[in-house]
């Protein structure tokens, strides 16, 4: 199984400290993935100075969950669980690096909330691995580079294949975890924002869907299936 090592970047630490003095949390909220590796940066202090992916891929990727784990007296481990899907690639593609950004700018709707739109590919809605429809926030501008992760070892299950044709197109979703140390006194000043379809609640998603596609109450499933009726896995 592919394993990624991660590090909190200098720019991420600086953002947290600025937020602490301003009594404002830092919001890691957006990820991008790449296929390169900074082989020349062997020391962690040099990796911590990275501000961009070596070889960006432009694939669709999201934060789907997060976890803090107490490590020792001074540090905790922050794990970021990510999902990447293959609707925009045309050949086998290796994911070897992950960049986490914080305090990004997002498009807003008429109510001042983040604009939430259904993900589509070739004119059809895109489901996640469980068949649930995927809704995305619309990025306006990435925030500051917060943390960086790189593949430790050779390529394994980090190879993302292109969609395969069947009755429709079968999409592939991979899940990778980046983890890095943060000082314990930083932890309460970090609030990781999870993408829709990750740990978002059924009630929240259904409420937003009501506004987006104007479904009647009778159309909203009451059994917690999160609109499985809405999308097929093969599209």
85 lies in some domain:
yes
133 lies in some domain:
no
Residue 132 has pLDDT above 80, yes or no: no
Q: How far is the C-alpha of 40 from the C-alpha of 54, rounded, in Å?
A: 11
235 lies in some domain:
no
37 lies in some domain:
yes
pLDDT for 168 equals 55
19 lies in some domain:
yes
Mean pLDDT of 67-74: 82
Task: Quick: pLDDT tens for 72-119.
Answer: 778 999 999 998 888 888 899 999 999 999 999 999 999 999 998 888
What number of H helices and E strands is found in the chain?
4, 17
Residue 230 has pLDDT above 50, yes or no: no
Dihedral sign from CA coordinates of 210, 213, 219, 220: negative
Higher local confidence (pLDDT), 50 or 2:
50
Least confident residue range of 43-52, 76-85, 192-201, 217-226: 217-226
214 lies in some domain:
no
218 lies in some domain:
no
pLDDT for 72 equals 74
Residues 6+ apart with CB under 8 A from 75: 181, 182, 183, 184
Quote the domain boundaries for residue 120.
4-125+138-199
Residue 200 has pLDDT above 70, yes or no: no
149 in Cβ contact with 2 (< 8 Å): no
> 211 in helix, strand or coil?
helix
pLDDT for 166 equals 54
178 lies in some domain:
yes
Number of domains in the chain: 1
Mean pLDDT of all residues in the chain? 79
């Amino acid at each position: 199984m592919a394993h990624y090592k991660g590090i909190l970047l200098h720019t991420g630490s600086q953002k947290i400290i600025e937020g602490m003095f301003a009594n404002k949390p830092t919001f890691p909220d957006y990820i991008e993935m790449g296929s390169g590796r900074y082989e020349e940066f062997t020391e962690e202090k040099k990796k911590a100075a990275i501000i961009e992916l070596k070889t960006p891929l432009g694939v669709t990727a999201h934060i789907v969950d997060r976890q803090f784990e107490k490590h020792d007296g001074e540090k905790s481990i922050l794990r970021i669980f990510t999902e990447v899907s293959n609707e925009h690639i045309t050949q086998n593609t290796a994911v070897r690096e992950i960049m986490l950004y914080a305090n990004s700018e997002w498009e807003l709707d008429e109510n001042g909330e983040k604009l939430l739109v259904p993900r589509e590919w070739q004119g059809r809605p895109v489901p996640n691995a469980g068949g649930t429809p995927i809704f995305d926030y619309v990025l306006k501008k990435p925030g500051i580079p917060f943390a960086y992760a790189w593949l430790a070892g050779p390529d394994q299950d980090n190879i993302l294949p292109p969609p395969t044709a069947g009755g429709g197109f079968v999409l592939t979703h991979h899940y990778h975890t980046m983890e890095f140390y943060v000082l314990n006194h930083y932890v309460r000043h970090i609030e990781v924002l999870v993408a829709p379809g990750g740990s978002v609640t059924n009630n929240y998603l259904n409420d937003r869907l009501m506004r987006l596609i104007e479904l009647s109450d009778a159309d909203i499933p009451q059994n917690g299936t999160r609109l499985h009726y809405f999308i097929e896995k093969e599209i």
